[in-house]
């Protein structure tokens, strides 16, 4: 990460969301602010290779929709705190339909990425709404709990967390440090995505998967951790979550793309919930 610049990951995810609005007219995930906040032509970004395949673009749209649909259900249950981990150029806080009933949004990100985002918001003419709190966290210097506490987060009240496009870049201990913190909160829920190991793919598909891994390593943001569905569910329950919903590629295709796919490896979407035990 260069001073004053976002991570490659944050920029690519923003480009995918913006390109989806242009190329698929936001069919899976409609975000009217995705293009303005990016500050560039998503079609041009897509053509120059900053945005990759259509499959990845649609997956990113699906995971954003899954997170926001799950959030809406949590709000109906009374949740009034939404934490966006690794927020990048996420625009929910500026589209928040639950602001009138008091949903607070906490955006957690590296200070440099968050500084870049605030510049982009200003250039797009988007003032931070009063329900949004930025929580810059440098995990080399402080914990998530410390960063959220400094931002005014209430650890005694239920909260919903989204953690999109981040887990694969972290070590397993770092992943479960965050998940264990969330699981200790009463009535907490988290949505995140993950990929399966290369060994889970048919032999003919493994070279392409390994090539993607190698490409990310060359960009300086290596993919470090992948899971199988069974091991992850067991680990989430061991961390303290009571319910786990895991959507594999076939489930995602049927639910968000309207297509039937055979079961097989790929990207997953997970929702893990701790029941309110106060």
pLDDT 10s digits, 78-125:
999 999 999 999 999 999 999 999 999 999 999 988 998 999 999 999
* Residue 125, both tokens: 């003419």
Positive or negative: CA dihedral 183, 188, 194, 196: positive
Predicted confidence (pLDDT) at residue 159 exceeds the cutoff of 90: yes
User: If you count them, how many residues does the chain have?
Assistant: 278
CA–CA dist 43, 46 (Å, integer) = 5
- Provide the pLDDT for residue 47: 57
Average pLDDT score over residue span 210-227: 90
Which of 10, 128, 112, 115 has its CA nearest to residue 60? 10
CA–CA dist 28, 277 (Å, integer) = 35
- Sole residue written with tokens 């690519």: 12
238, 26 contact by CB (below 8 A): no
- Provide the pLDDT for residue 8: 77
- Provide the pLDDT for residue 270: 98
Strand-pair partners of 104? 81
Positive or negative: CA dihedral 146, 152, 156, 160: negative
- Provide the pLDDT for residue 232: 97
pLDDT digits (tens, 9 = 90+) for 24-48: 999 999 999 999 998 866 565 555 4
CA–CA dist 19, 14 (Å, integer) = 8
Dihedral Cα 219, 224, 230, 235, nearest 10 deg: -130
By the 10 Å C-beta count (0-12 exposed, 13-18 middle, 19+ buried), 259 is classed as exposed
138, 111 contact by CB (below 8 A): yes
Which of 144, 175, 160, 2 has its CA nearest to residue 66? 160
Which of 191, 167, 199 has its CA nearest to residue 265? 199
Q: Is the pTM of this model over 0.95?
A: no
* Residue 19, both tokens: 């390109």
Tell me the backbone φ, ψ of residue 243, rounded to 5 degrees. -130, 140
- The per-residue pLDDT of the chain, averaged, comes to 90
């Amino acid at each position: 990460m260069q001073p004053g610049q976002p991570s490659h990951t944050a920029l690519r995810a923003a480009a995918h969301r913006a390109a989806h609005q242009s190329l698929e007219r936001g069919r899976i995930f409609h975000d009217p602010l995705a293009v303005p906040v990016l500050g560039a032509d998503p079609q041009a970004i897509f053509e120059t290779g900053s945005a990759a395949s259509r499959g990845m673009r649609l997956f990113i749209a699906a995971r954003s929709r899954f997170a926001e649909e799950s959030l809406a259900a949590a709000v109906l249950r009374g949740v009034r705190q939404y934490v966006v981990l690794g927020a990048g150029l996420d625009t929910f806080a500026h589209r928040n339909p639950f602001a009138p009933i008091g949903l607070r949004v906490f955006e957690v990100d590296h200070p440099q990425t968050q500084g870049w985002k605030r510049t982009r918001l200003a250039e797009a003419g988007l003032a931070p709404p009063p329900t949004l709190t930025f929580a810059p966290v440098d995990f080399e210097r402080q914990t998530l709990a410390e960063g959220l506490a400094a931002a005014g987060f209430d650890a005694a009240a239920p909260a919903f967390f989204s953690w999109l496009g981040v887990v694969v870049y972290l070590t397993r201990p770092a992943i479960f440090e965050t998940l264990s913190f969330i699981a200790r909160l009463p009535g907490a829920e988290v949505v995140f995505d993950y990929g399966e190991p290369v060994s889970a793919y048919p032999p003919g598909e493994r070279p392409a998967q390994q090539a993607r891994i190698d490409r990310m390593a060359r960009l300086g943001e290596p993919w470090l951790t992948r899971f199988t569905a069974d091991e992850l569910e067991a680990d989430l329950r061991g961390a303290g979550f009571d319910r786990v919903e895991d959507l594999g590629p076939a489930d995602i295709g049927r639910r968000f793309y309207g297509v039937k796919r055979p079961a097989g490896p790929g990207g997953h979407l997970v929702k893990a919930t701790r029941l309110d035990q106060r």
